[in-house]
Amino acid sequence: MRVYVPLTLPGLAEAHKAGQLGPAPLDAYAVTPALREWYVSDDIEELEYAALSRAAQASLRRLAADPDAPRRRVVVAVDVPEGAAVADPDRALDESALGEVRLAAAVPLAKAAAVHVDSDDAEADVAAAADALGAADHGDEDARFTVDGAEDHELMWFGVQELPNLL
């Protein structure tokens, strides 16, 4: 099963140093039944892109909580055994939790399939989005527009072997 773990660049550096994503429990995103139903698609690539997008939104929240982190969203795509990622059944109908899963154990970085990171040219929009996130959560439409601006940037794909150069 493919899951998408939201991080920041400092979090990615820690994972690289430790050789694993952790400590457990880890929040991640995946193609869950609720995400599948919400997205109304049978195309697994579209569904995985939706899960990746949800993880990118969670990475933005991590950036908002860490003002010292470089303003680039980071998502690590990891393959885990079926059943290792569990969705909270009490939040299945909560739209903010679509695709959200929890991993009960740390995951070796060797299980990572790819790392997705914003390009340098996205930093200004991502920084503005991180700053506007609180206001957007409280209904400010201008702030919501700013947050949505970060989503206009596609995350770049990197192989795990490229981590040393990326960091």
Backbone angles phi, psi at 115, to 5 degrees: -125, 135
pLDDT digits (tens, 9 = 90+) for 133-162: 999 999 999 999 999 999 999 999 999 899
pLDDT for the residue numbered 93: 66
**C-alpha to C-alpha distances, 92 to 44, 98, 99, 100, nearest whole angstrom:** 20, 7, 9, 9
8 Å CB contact between 1 and 24: no
User: Closest Cα partner for 1 from 127, 113, 126, 129?
Assistant: 113
pLDDT digits (tens, 9 = 90+) for 55-109: 999 999 999 999 999 999 999 999 999 889 998 877 766 777 889 999 999 999 9
pLDDT for the residue numbered 40: 78
Tell whether the model's pLDDT for residue 125 goes beyond 80: yes
pLDDT for the residue numbered 36: 86
Tell whether the model's pLDDT for residue 2 goes beyond 90: yes
pLDDT for the residue numbered 157: 96
What pTM was computed for the model? 0.93
User: Closest Cα partner for 128 from 154, 105, 146, 144?
Assistant: 146
Tell whether the model's pLDDT for residue 42 goes beyond 90: no
Q: What span, in angstroms and rounded, lies between the C-alpha atoms of 40 and 47?
A: 9
The one-letter code for the residue type at 42 is D
Q: Residue 114's beta-bridge partner residues?
A: 77
Average pLDDT over residues 103-116: 94
Average pLDDT over residues 45-63: 95
- Among all chains, which residue has been given the structure tokens 């820690």? 14
In Å, how far from its chain's centre is CA 90? 21
Average pLDDT over residues 22-38: 90
| Ranges of H-type helices in 66-140 | 123-137
pLDDT for the residue numbered 131: 96
